[in-house]
Amino acid sequence: MLLRLAPAATLAVLAGPVVLGLAFTVLPAFGFLPALGGTTFALDPWRGLLAAPGLSTALTLTVGTGLATTLLALALAAGLCAAVAHRPGMARLQRLMVPLLASPPSGLALGFAFLVMPSGWLVRLVSPWATGWAVPPAGLVTVGDPLGISLVAALLIKEVPYLTLMLFAASATVPVERLMAAARALGRDAATAWVSVVFPQLYRQVRLPVFAVLAFSMSVVDVAIIVGPTNPPPLAVLATRWFLGYDLAYFHTAAAAATLQLVLVALAILLWLALERPVAALGRRWLARGSRSRAAGGAAGVAGAVAALLILLGLLSLLAMLVWSLAGSWRFPAALPDSWQLWLWRGEAGDAAALASTSAGIGLAAVAVALVLTLACLENEQRHGLHPGAAVQWLVYLPLIVPQIAFLFGVQVLLVRAGLDGTPLAVVWAHLVFVLPFVFLSLADAYRALDPRYAMTAAAMGAGRWQVFLTVKLPLLARPILIAAAVGFAVSIAQYLPTLFAGAGRVATLTTEAVTLSSGGDRRILGLVAVLQAALPLAAYGLALALPFLAFRRFRGMA
Amino acid sequence: MNRSIALALAAGLSALATFLGPPAGADEAKEAWQDILAAARGQSVYFNAWAGDPQTNAFITWVGELARERYGIDVRHVKLADTAEAVTRIVAEKAAGRETGGSVDLVWINGPNLLSLKEKGLLFGPFVEKLPNWRHVDRTKPSNLTDFTIPVEGYAAPWRMAQVVFLYDSARTPPASLPGTIPAFLDWARAHAGRLTHPHPRDFLGATFLKQALVELAPDPAVLQQPASEETFAMATAPLWAWYDALRPHLWRGGEDFPATGTAQLSMLADGEIALAISFNPADAAVGIRKGTLPQTARVHVLDAGTIGNTSFVAIPFNAAHKEAAMVLANLLMSPEVQARAQDPATIGAFTVLDLASLSEAERARFTPPADAVGLPDNAALGTPLPEPHPSWMTRLVAEWERRYTR
């Protein structure tokens, strides 16, 4: 009975913020925002936007880097899985990826920027003895290149591990070993077997995460500011620049840009969907030919190697930030800091514990609510054969697509109206708006793909529906559930603007402290902050990956 | 020329300020202030202020302790990465119809953000003349009364000075080689290809770079104090664009890309990627040396004809929940004790808004820079700050720059 209310409850929690958030994005785009004196509808904001210099470059950049990141992230993650499928190295690689998963995207991007810039670590390591450079080379273009290559690379460092993790979570519900054995029996090498037989099954389950990657890479602001080009930047940065600009008159243009951003992401997803079919058809033809060519295996090997290189770069980026947090001064071309200090860590240690407990409390609350709602919705869907309408699905995912600053303006208005702003409850609610979509999309496909025969068998043996849910489904899905929870927790920990807006600046978390301190640009502090921010999600991911092995050993053969 | 306009303007404005001063007697003003102090006791004040470095945060904590001891008010520092976050929150509260009990009590705010709020009627005031320490504020500094040519009219209390300087490392770039005028930047950039840049003009400091050039290159700088029109803009900026077209190919990345923010530009200087960086804090070199982000040899450079200066203010939003405590804190920020400490490069190195001549000798002595302060310019080196142009110039400059150089 209660279960039937789950979709309604989810909507009730999300609809208010999402609808108002959207309204306050779209209405000002058409000139309507009474607080700033806009009381009639007009197309001026759109004229302003279309006349913005460099808009077409910005759009190309947004779509180009978004699609490139998504395609490459999927290919590399798949290549990585294929290359190490059924090799013991897999587990080790997974452990290596956990710090990358746990780090805030901006922290990783800062580390990556420091790694590759002309005055960065890589150049420092070989200067001046090999390069002759006593000052950084002026002609070298790395970070902020006009094509956005470094932006794509920085995003990949974050997204390849994410999709690899999603593939890994999904593989819990697919009989990987049997499929592999069958394909191997047909004479395929392991990598080819994985690509041709396992991947198509897994792809269906990671489709939503793939869209999340697409939406994220097209709408990301902080990473794009750090490593993207500036003149013009991608659309989401343009929108944020106008929203936060010193001239309130740009608020409307900013809203139009945010609306366009939304349309653009939707179009990109539709384009992806449209291309799925022909690509799948090609794949089937290749499979049907039964070729024993090792090209696929070779390609997977290359992809796996590139992915491993990216992970290495990511870990070096993190290491760079850690070293910076301990550096006194570190000038070009020294390969290591000229002097070291501990005062930064000592100074922050007192505050950090209190901030971390607030952050963890908010994160746990948001994740708990998100998990209950997601599981209830999915279970309800299975029991009653209901499928959520496309409109509802889009509603859930909207918060991930619209630039946060536009969206949160509406959320803020809602919270002020309800007299809730400045309370922890409001912060949890605001986080939930961003956590729930991630938990849902991390879990939904795996939940739907769980072999129904397990439940049927249990039911046939007399187990009630709840008993089946609690004793069969939950343990079998423990891995994806815990991973979804960890993803949700990491998302919550990283929220800056939602915390600031819903908390009216009165709820301080690790991330509010981190982001505000980062605005000073002192790389030592940026390093400290990146490490602090990564710590909590790191613990969460560690638990999520370790717990199923410890708690559900007896189920091992089934997953 | 510039300077005489500024001085004339300052004299006129201070006369105006005296004229507009409270007609009530001194006793009455004192009584009113006692009432405000009484009402403020026990209030919390949510001070929304940029929190980009531990020094600034520690300074605000220190002021908060002072406020608690002396006035029984509880200062809560709402840490911002960007002042616009507070502005957006105030606008959102207005949109939601919250006319009282607002979440922002006091906000550290600069020129255009301040003017935006004032123009939209989102500020409380005028309140500044009720503050006892207002009498110490230097009213011959035009920017304390007039922000970007727009009279502040008591809607915001000045608390620190900002002035354009150029940061450099004297060990790498001999001071004598630095350009003393805007036209001289051309030769300097040519000789140091790729070692000069400026933040993207959508960033406040980037726009200031263009304004600084404009102030020196405009045929008649007086027009900059009036709202820009099509004609005056075209006429005044023609030399600027000619200069910039010649300069741009020699900038970092050939002038195709720019650091996104002022802080990004400063890290490029610290990393040695560029050799000269614009800044708005004359104490930036001294503070950077103290913090260890800049080498001991970092210095600031001021142009021969002077540089643009302005004032940072604190303002109270229209719906602030604790206006009295906010006023008490604003007053405390203008006190000689707090101003002197702020000016020390070991804290935040914020140049004072006070008229040192109005202080007692003991108070004045606090402002003497510490003997070990390295890289701090003296007032003579800074010269009289040039006035900011009317805000319409910045809006148009940025738009025109993008039209020309963003592809």
Verify that B251 and B120 share a domain, yes or no: no
Which alpha helices (DSSP H) does A89-221 contain, by range? 89-102, 105-116, 121-125, 149-170, 176-185, 190-193, 199-219
- A87: tokens are 């090799």
- For residues A305 and B245, the model is more confident at B245
pLDDT number for residue B17: 44
Residue B288 has pLDDT above 60, yes or no: yes
**Helical packing angle, B391-405 and B204-217, nearest 10°:** 100
How many domains is chain A partitioned into structurally?
2
Verify that B15 and B135 share a domain, yes or no: yes
| Adjacent-strand bridge partners of B146 | B151
Is A77 part of any domain? yes
CA B322 to chain centre: 25
Of A369, A378, A399, the closest CA to residue A15 belongs to A399
In this prediction, residues A131-137 reach a mean pLDDT of: 91
- For residues B33 and A93, the model is more confident at B33
Verify that B282 and B223 share a domain, yes or no: yes
Residue A349 has pLDDT above 80, yes or no: no
Residue A552 has pLDDT above 70, yes or no: no
Q: How many angstroms separate the CA atoms of A347 and A528, rounded?
A: 11
Verify that A307 and A390 share a domain, yes or no: no
In this prediction, residues B108-133 reach a mean pLDDT of: 91
Of B116, B84, B94, the closest CA to residue B319 belongs to B94
Verify that B258 and B395 share a domain, yes or no: yes
- Residue B107: strand, helix, or coil: strand
Q: How many angstroms separate the CA atoms of B236 and B120, rounded?
A: 29
Q: What's the angle, vertex CA B204, arms to CA B251 and CA B378, rounded to 5?
A: 85
- A377: tokens are 């919705």
pLDDT number for residue B13: 45
In this prediction, residues A444-451 reach a mean pLDDT of: 82
Q: Positive or negative CA dihedral for A186, A191, A196, A199?
A: positive
pLDDT number for residue A174: 78
Q: What's the angle, vertex CA A149, arms to CA A147 and CA A153, rounded to 5?
A: 160
- Residue B4: strand, helix, or coil: helix
Domain with B338, as residue range(s), is 2-159+311-371
Verify that A311 and A396 share a domain, yes or no: no
Paired sense of beta strands B146-147 and B106-109, if any? unpaired
Verify that B18 and B85 share a domain, yes or no: yes
Q: Which candidate from A35, A414, A521 shows the least CB-CB separation from B91? A: A35
- B108: tokens are 């550290």
Q: Is A501's CB within 8 Å of B89's CB?
A: yes
Q: How many angstroms separate the CA atoms of A241 and A261, rounded?
A: 14
Is B101 part of any domain? yes
Least Cα separation, residue A152 to chain B (angstroms): 18
Q: How many angstroms separate the CA atoms of A459 and B347, rounded?
A: 70
The confidence band for A510, taking pLDDT boundaries of 50, 70 and 90, is confident
Verify that A294 and A392 share a domain, yes or no: no
Verify that A337 and A348 share a domain, yes or no: no
Is A350 part of any domain? yes
- Residue A106: strand, helix, or coil: helix
Q: CA-CA distances (angstroms) from residue A171 to A85, A381, A440, B48?
A: 11, 22, 17, 48
**Is the pTM for the entire model greater than 0.80?**
yes
Verify that B389 and B266 share a domain, yes or no: yes
Predicted complex ipTM: 0.87
pLDDT one-digit tens code per residue, A219-230: 888 899 899 999
Average pLDDT of chain A to the nearest whole number? 86
In this prediction, residues A358-375 reach a mean pLDDT of: 95
Question: CA of B273: which chain A residue's CA is closest?
Answer: A136
Domain with A67, as residue range(s), is 43-341
- Residue A294: strand, helix, or coil: coil
- A92: tokens are 């080790």
Is A32 part of any domain? no
Q: Choose one of A287, A320, A341: the last residue of a domain.
A: A341
- DSSP character for B317? B
Verify that A257 and A349 share a domain, yes or no: no
Verify that A287 and A382 share a domain, yes or no: no
In this prediction, residues B106-120 reach a mean pLDDT of: 89
The confidence band for A50, taking pLDDT boundaries of 50, 70 and 90, is very high
| Adjacent-strand bridge partners of B75 | B45
In this prediction, residues B331-348 reach a mean pLDDT of: 94
pLDDT one-digit tens code per residue, A478-507: 888 999 999 999 999 988 888 988 888 889
In this prediction, residues A142-159 reach a mean pLDDT of: 95
| Adjacent-strand bridge partners of B354 | B137
Q: How many angstroms separate the CA atoms of A516 and B289, rounded?
A: 22
Is A533 part of any domain? yes
Is B380 part of any domain? no
Residue B261 touches partner A, C-beta closer than 8 Å: yes
Is B378 part of any domain? no
Is A35 part of any domain? no
Is A302 part of any domain? yes
Verify that A11 and A150 share a domain, yes or no: no
Question: CA of B392: which chain A residue's CA is closest?
Answer: A247
Within 25-64 of B, beta carbons closer than 8 Å to A belong to 46, 48, 50-54, 56-57
pLDDT number for residue B390: 92
* All residues at 6 or more sequence positions from B211 whose CB lies less than 8 Å from its CB, including other chains: B308, B388, B389, B393, B394, B397
The confidence band for A90, taking pLDDT boundaries of 50, 70 and 90, is low
Verify that B150 and B81 share a domain, yes or no: yes
Of B393, B378, B397, B388, the closest CA to residue B309 belongs to B388
Residue B201 has pLDDT above 60, yes or no: yes
Residue B25 has pLDDT above 80, yes or no: no
Within 91-130 of B, beta carbons closer than 8 Å to A belong to 91-98, 103-104, 111-113, 116, 120
pLDDT number for residue A87: 63
Q: Is A225's CB within 8 Å of B260's CB?
A: yes
Q: Choose one of A293, A313, A341: the last residue of a domain.
A: A341
Q: Given the structure tokens 């006791």, which residue do they identify?
A: B41
Question: Which of A110, A231, A340 should we substitute to test contact with B (largest number of B Cβ atoms within 10 Å)?
Answer: A231
pLDDT one-digit tens code per residue, B135-172: 999 998 889 998 888 899 999 999 999 999 999 999 99
Is B330 part of any domain? yes
Q: CA-CA distances (angstroms) from residue A83 to A279, A283, A294, A302, A308?
A: 22, 19, 13, 9, 10
Verify that A532 and A556 share a domain, yes or no: yes
Q: Positive or negative CA dihedral for A520, A522, A528, A534?
A: positive
Q: How many angstroms separate the CA atoms of A37 and A31, rounded?
A: 9
Residue A559 has pLDDT above 60, yes or no: no
* All residues at 6 or more sequence positions from B205 whose CB lies less than 8 Å from its CB, including other chains: B198, B199, B261, B262, B265, B278, B279, B280
Q: Is B407's CB within 8 Å of A144's CB?
A: no
- For residues A446 and A231, the model is more confident at A231
pLDDT number for residue A88: 58
In this prediction, residues A16-42 reach a mean pLDDT of: 81
- For residues A191 and B271, the model is more confident at B271
Verify that A67 and A153 share a domain, yes or no: yes
Residue B129 has pLDDT above 90, yes or no: yes
Least Cα separation, residue B322 to chain A (angstroms): 15
Q: How many angstroms separate the CA atoms of B240 and B389, rounded?
A: 15
Q: Among the listed ranges A23-27, A63-67, A548-552, B56-60, which one has the minimum average pLDDT value?
A: A548-552
pLDDT number for residue A113: 94
Question: Which of B47, B91, B397 should we substitute to test contact with A (largest number of A Cβ atoms within 10 Å)?
Answer: B91
Say which CATH number the domain at A400 has.
Answer: 1.10.3720.10
Of A9, A2, A5, A4, the closest CA to residue A432 belongs to A9
Q: CB burial class (10 A; 0-12, 13-18, 19+) of residue B349?
A: buried
Q: How many angstroms separate the CA atoms of A138 and A118, rounded?
A: 8
The confidence band for B20, taking pLDDT boundaries of 50, 70 and 90, is very low
**Helical packing angle, B204-217 and B262-271, nearest 10°:** 90
Kind and range of the H or E element at A492?
helix A478-494
Verify that A335 and A367 share a domain, yes or no: no
Q: Looking at beta carbons, which residues of chain B come within 8 Å of A24?
A: 95
- For residues B167 and B379, the model is more confident at B167
pLDDT number for residue A15: 80
Which alpha helices (DSSP H) does B177-305 contain, by range? 184-191, 204-217, 230-247, 262-271, 284-291
Q: How many angstroms separate the CA atoms of A374 and A517, rounded?
A: 35
Verify that B216 and B203 share a domain, yes or no: yes
- A241: tokens are 């620049």
Q: How many angstroms separate the CA atoms of A490 and A367, rounded?
A: 10
Average pLDDT of chain B to the nearest whole number? 90
The confidence band for B6, taking pLDDT boundaries of 50, 70 and 90, is very low
Q: Looking at beta carbons, which residues of chain B come within 8 Å of A416?
A: 92-93, 96, 98
Residue B118 has pLDDT above 70, yes or no: yes
Cα dihedral B247→B253→B254→B258 (10° resolution)? -50
Least Cα separation, residue B403 to chain A (angstroms): 5
Verify that B236 and B367 share a domain, yes or no: no
Verify that B109 and B195 share a domain, yes or no: no
Which alpha helices (DSSP H) does A385-423 contain, by range? 390-401, 404-417
Question: CA of B50: which chain A residue's CA is closest?
Answer: A516
Which alpha helices (DSSP H) does A85-148 contain, by range? 89-102, 105-116, 121-125
Q: Looking at beta carbons, which residues of chain B come within 8 Å of A121?
A: none
Is B299 part of any domain? yes
Verify that B267 and B363 share a domain, yes or no: no
Verify that A511 and A530 share a domain, yes or no: yes
How many domains is chain B partitioned into structurally?
2
Q: Choose one of A341, A375, A409: the last residue of a domain.
A: A341
The confidence band for A46, taking pLDDT boundaries of 50, 70 and 90, is very high
Cα dihedral A242→A244→A250→A252 (10° resolution)? 90
Verify that B180 and B304 share a domain, yes or no: yes
pLDDT number for residue A298: 80
Residue B8 has pLDDT above 70, yes or no: no
Is B377 part of any domain? no
The confidence band for B278, taking pLDDT boundaries of 50, 70 and 90, is very high
Paired sense of beta strands B277-279 and B298-301, if any? unpaired
Is B324 part of any domain? yes
Question: CA of B104: which chain A residue's CA is closest?
Answer: A504
* Terminal Cα-to-Cα distance of chain B (whole angstroms): 38
Is B21 part of any domain? yes
Of B13, B37, B32, the closest CA to residue B130 belongs to B32
Say which CATH number the domain at B119 has.
Answer: 3.40.190.10
Q: How many angstroms separate the CA atoms of A188 and A216, rounded?
A: 36
pLDDT number for residue A222: 86
Is A122 part of any domain? yes
Question: CA of A421: which chain B residue's CA is closest?
Answer: B103
Is A36 part of any domain? no
**A218 C-beta neighbours (distance < 10 Å), count:** 26
Q: Is A231's CB within 8 Å of B292's CB?
A: no
Residue B3 has pLDDT above 70, yes or no: no
pLDDT one-digit tens code per residue, A262-321: 899 989 999 999 999 999 888 888 877 766 667 777 888 888 889 989 999 999 999 999
Verify that A22 and A82 share a domain, yes or no: no
The confidence band for B10, taking pLDDT boundaries of 50, 70 and 90, is very low
Residue A1 has pLDDT above 90, yes or no: no
